[in-house]
């Protein structure tokens, strides 16, 4: 059985004060929800403070990115070892990193290796663009992204994958649950080709892209989808709590 995982990717939102207020509003209720791994991914500058606020709870932290080098002249960057002790997870290869900051599959691969070396669990993001989707290239694009990101990586039990179709991110136009389930099945087959069926059946694969409390239920009914990577809706306490609560209820009865 795969433990469902809901992660909130706050992106470049929330000052330290806003972050503290949001976490205070959610912590008690979020902590009580069982059967779902709950991860908050605030901006780097809030990680240390939030870590203190959630200590002793079942809530975990993730970073939104990191550099693959351990140290050096990389102005503005954060290294894997700086995240150790603060975070369990790190989001890697998010489409916004790929498209706005030019991260290639090769860079994502280096980051995945660096994260695993540091004992951080990557949340590896993959997903096709609208034109690729319309040209029927979804299978090819996500399979290639997964294989390149994991090239030379030994069986990564700690890996989480997030399938985020680019056209669904921040658009209010999510994938259908069935479409997302099919593509996640394709991603799982790619993992099976790399590491065998046993590992593939254990790796958790989330859906991301315009997830809200209103549509999470449909996604969580799908057998291949093991949770969600939530952007905009993770910035509202009630929305995020409802998403996690519905996931717990649906995955429990399955």
**Nearest to ligand 13P of 208, 227 (CB atom):** 208
In sequence order, the 6+-apart residues with CB closer than 8 A to the CB of 69 are 77, 79, 114
User: How many C-alpha atoms does 53 have within 13 Å on its Cβ side?
Assistant: 20
Q: Looking at 5, 6, 9, 116, which residue binds ligand 13P (CB under 6 A)?
A: 9
155 binds ligand 13P (CB under 6 A): no
- Mask for 115-154, x = binds ligand 13P (CB under 6 A): ----------------------------------------
Report the alpha-carbon distance of residue 243 to residue 73 in Å, rounded. 41
CA dist 201 and 223 (Å) reads 11
Q: How far is the CB of 108 from ligand 13P (least distance, A)?
A: 14
> Nearest distance from residue 65's CB to ligand 13P, in Å?
11
Question: In sequence order, what DSSP letters do the residues of 73-112 get, joined into one string?
Answer: S-TT---HHHHBTTBSEEEES-HHHHHHS---HHHHHHHH
> Which residue, 161 or 230, is less far from ligand 13P as judged by CB?
230
Among positions 186-225, residues that touch ligand 13P (CB under 6 A) are: 208-211
Q: Which two tokens stand for residue 117?
A: 């070396």
H/E segment holding residue 16: helix 16-32
Residue of 80, 93, 177, 232 that binds ligand 13P (CB under 6 A) = 232
**Residues shown for the chain:** 254
- One of 22, 26, 230, 244 touching ligand 13P (CB under 6 A): 230
In DSSP terms, 133 is beta-bridged to none
Q: Does 22 bind ligand 13P (CB under 6 A)?
A: no
d(C-alpha 5, C-alpha 25), whole Å: 20
Q: Which is nearer to ligand 13P, 175 or 195 (CB)?
A: 175
Asked if 39 touches ligand 13P (CB under 6 A), the answer is no
- In the complex, least distance from residue 159 CB atom to ligand 13P, rounded to whole angstroms: 16
User: Which CB sits closer to ligand 13P, 40 or 195?
Assistant: 40
Distance CA 167, CA 218 (A): 19
- Which residues carry out catalysis? 94, 164
Given the rule CB under 6 A, which residues bind ligand 13P? 9, 94, 164, 169-170, 208-211, 229-233
């Amino acid at each position: 059985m795969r433990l469902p995982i809901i992660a909130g990717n706050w992106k470049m939102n929330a000052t330290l004060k806003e972050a503290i207020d949001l976490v205070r509003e959610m912590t008690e209720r979020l902590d009580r929800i069982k059967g779902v791994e709950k991860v908050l991914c605030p901006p780097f500058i809030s990680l240390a403070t939030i870590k203190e606020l959630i200590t002793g709870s079942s809530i975990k932290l993730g970073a939104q990115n990191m550099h693959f080098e351990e140290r050096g002249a990389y102005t503005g960057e954060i290294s894997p070892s700086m995240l150790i002790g603060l975070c369990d997870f790190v989001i890697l290869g998010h489409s916004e990193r790929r498209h706005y900051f030019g991260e290639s599959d090769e860079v994502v691969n280096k980051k995945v290796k660096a994260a695993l070396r540091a004992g951080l669990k990557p949340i590896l993001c993959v997903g096709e663009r609208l034109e690729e989707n319309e040209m029927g290239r979804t299978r090819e694009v996500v399979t290639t992204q997964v294989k390149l990101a994991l090239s030379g990586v030994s069986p990564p039990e700690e890996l989480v994958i997030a399938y985020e179709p680019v056209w669904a991110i921040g658009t209010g136009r999510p994938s259908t649950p069935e479409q997302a389930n099919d593509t996640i099945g394709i991603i799982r087959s790619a993992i099976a080709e790399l590491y065998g069926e046993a590992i593939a059946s254990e790796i958790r694969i989330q859906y991301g892209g315009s997830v809200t409390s209103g549509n999470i239920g449909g996604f969580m009914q799908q057998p291949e989808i093991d949770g969600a990577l939530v952007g905009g809706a993770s910035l509202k306490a009630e929305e995020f709590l409802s998403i996690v609560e519905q996931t717990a209820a649906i995955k429990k009865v399955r």
